Amino acid sequence: MNAFLSTNKLKYGMLCYVKEVPDDTHMFIYRGNQWEIWEGQGGSGGGGLSLVVVEDLDELATKTALQMRGQIVYINSLDDLRFWNGEYWESFRKIYIQSTPPDDKGGIWIDTSEEGY
CA-to-CA distance for 11 and 82, rounded, in angstroms? 23
62 Rama sector, left if φ>0, alpha if ψ -120 to 50, beta otherwise: alpha
Q: Residues 72-99: pLDDT tens digits? A: 888 889 988 888 888 999 888 788 878 8
pTM of the model: 0.55
Instruction: Give me the percent of the chain exceeding a pLDDT of 70.
Output: 81
Could you say which DSSP state residue 52 is in? Answer: E
Q: What's the mean pLDDT in 60-67?
A: 90
Q: What is the pLDDT of residue 22?
A: 63
Segments making up each domain of the chain, as ranges: 1-39, 42-117
